[in-house]
Amino acid sequence: MKIRRLEISGFKSFADRVVFSFDDGVTGVVGPNGCGKSNVVDAIRWAMGEQSAKHLRGRSMEDVIFSGSESRPPTGMAEVSLTFQNDGRLVPPQYASFGEITVTRRLFRSGESSYEINKAACRLLDITELFLGTGVGTRAYSIIEQGRIGLIVSARPEDRRSILEEAAGVTKYKARRKQAERKLESTEQNLLRLSDVVGEVQRRLASLERAAKKAEKFRDLRAELKSLELLANVRRFLAADEQARTASGELETTLEQEKVAQAHVARLESGLSAERLRLLEDERNVQALAERSHAIDKDLRLAEQEIEFAGREREAIAQRRAQHQEESSLLGVRLELLAREEEGHHEDLRKLSDAGAEDEARRGMLERDLAVALERIHAAQRAVEEERHSAVSVLTRLANHRSNLVNLERQRQDLTARREKLAGEAGQLEARGIEISRQRDDLLEGLARSQAARKSLHDRRGAQEEELQRGTSERRETEALLIRLREELADRRSRLTSLLELQKNFEGYGRGVKAILLRDEDERRRDGVYGLVAEVLRTDPAHERAIEAVLGERLQLVLVESHAAGLRAVEYLQKASQGRASFVPLTEMEQLPLVAEATDLPAPEGTVRAIDVVECAPEHERLKRFLLADVFLCDTLAAALSLWANNPGERTFVSADGEVVDREGIVSGGSLAGVADGLLHKRRELQELAGTVQELEARVALSTTRAHELETRQAALELAVKRLAQEEREEELSELRLERDVARLQEDLTRIAQRNEVLRHEQAQLDAATSEVEREEKTLRSAVQGGENEQHEREAKLRALQAELLSEREKAEIVQSEVTRAKVNAAAVAERREGVARALARLAEQRAEIEERREKLSAELSAAEERAAALDAKLEVTRGELGRLLTAGEEIRGELGRARALYDAAQERLRGGDEEVRQARAVLETVSRARAEIELRLQEIRLTLSHLEDGVRERHLVELAEVAAAKREEALTLDAEGADARMQELRAAIEALGEVSLTAIDEAREVGARHAFLSAQKQDLEESIARLRAAIARIERASKERFRETFALVNEKFQQVFPRLFRGGRAELQLVHDPQNPDGEPGVEIVAQPPGKKLVSVNLLSGGEKALTAVSLIFAIFLIKPTPFCLLDEVDAPLDDANVGRYNEMVREMSRTSQFIVITHNKRTMEVADALYGVTMEEPGISKTVSVKLSQNGTTAAA
* SS3 at position 319: helix
* pLDDT over 70 (residue 31): yes
pLDDT at 1192: 46
- The per-residue pLDDT of the chain, averaged, comes to 78
What confidence tens digit (pLDDT) does each residue in 215-256 have?
778 778 877 777 777 788 777 778 888 888 888 888 888 888
| Whether 759 contacts 429, CB under 8 Å | yes
State yes or no: pLDDT of 800 exceeds 50: yes
Given a cut of 70, whether residue 586 has pLDDT beyond it is yes
Q: Which residues contact 1089 (CB under 8 A, 6 or more apart)?
A: 1065, 1066, 1067, 1095, 1096
Q: Which of 95-104, 331-340, 638-647 has the lowest mean pLDDT?
A: 331-340
- pLDDT over threshold 70, residue 661: yes
Sketch the domain layout of the chain as residue ranges.
509-675
Q: How many CB atoms lie within 10 A of CB 1091?
A: 10
What span, in angstroms and rounded, lies between the C-alpha atoms of 972 and 964? 10
Rg (CA), the chain: 75
pLDDT at 1069 over 50: yes
Which stretches of 604-727 are assigned E, i.e. beta strand? Answer: 608-609, 614-615, 631-633, 652-654, 660-661, 667-668
The candidate with the shortest Cα–Cα distance to 899, out of 288, 142, 136, is 288
The mean per-residue pLDDT over the stretch 127-155 comes to 69
Length of the chain: 1199
Which is it for strands 529-532 and 120-122: parallel, antiparallel or unpaired? unpaired
- 842-883, pLDDT tens digit by residue? 777 777 777 777 777 777 777 777 777 777 777 777 778 777
Instruction: Tell me which long-range contacts 172-175 makes (C-beta under 8 A, separation of at least 24).
Output: 172/132, 172/133, 173/1035, 173/1038, 173/1039, 173/1042, 174/1035, 174/1039, 175/132
Q: How far apart are CA 599 and CA 630, in angstroms?
A: 7
Q: What pLDDT, on the 0 to 100 scale, is given for residue 116?
A: 93
Q: Which CATH class is domain 509-675?
A: mainly alpha
* pLDDT grade for 400, boundaries at 50, 70 and 90: low
What average pLDDT score do residues 346-356 get? 67
Q: Give kind and range of the element (H or E) at residue 1182.
A: strand 1182-1190
Average pLDDT (32-40) is 85
Across the range 965-976, mean pLDDT stands at 75
CB-based contact 1043:164 (threshold 8 Å): yes
State the DSSP string of 1075-1129.
TTBTTS--EEEEEEE-TTS--EEGGGS-HHHHHHHHHHHHHHHHHHS--SEEEEE
Q: Which of 406-410, 799-803, 1031-1035 has the highest mean pLDDT?
A: 1031-1035
Average pLDDT over residues 818-846: 72
What is the b/e burial string over 220-247, where b = at least 16 CB atoms within 10 angstroms of the residue's CB?
A: ebbebbeebbbbbbbbbbeebbebbeeb
- pLDDT of 1097: 66
The answer to whether residue 1198 scores a pLDDT higher than 60 is no
Highest mean pLDDT among 70-84, 374-388, 414-428, 1139-1153: 70-84
pLDDT of residue 230: 76
**Which amino acid, 746?**
Q
Report the pLDDT value the prediction gives residue 1190, as an integer from 0 to 100. 57
Residue 102 pLDDT class (50, 70, 90 cuts): very high
Letter for the amino acid at 170?
V
Is the predicted pLDDT of residue 711 greater than 90, yes or no?
no
Amino acid of residue 1046: T
State the average pLDDT over residues 678-698. Answer: 76
- CA–CA separation, 43 and 842 (whole Å): 168
State the pLDDT at residue 380: 73
Q: What is the pLDDT of residue 676?
A: 40
- Read off the pLDDT of residues 747-797 as tens digits, 9 standing for 90 and up: 888 888 887 887 787 788 778 888 887 787 788 778 777 777 776 777 777
Question: Highest mean pLDDT: which of 350-359, 847-856, 1112-1121?
Answer: 1112-1121
Most confident of 135-139, 343-347, 813-817, 1136-1140: 1136-1140
* Helix (H/G/I), strand (E/B), else coil: 101: strand
Evaluate if residue 1058 carries a pLDDT over 80. Answer: yes
Distance CA 468, CA 461 (A): 10
For the cut 50, the answer to whether the pLDDT of residue 1199 exceeds it is no
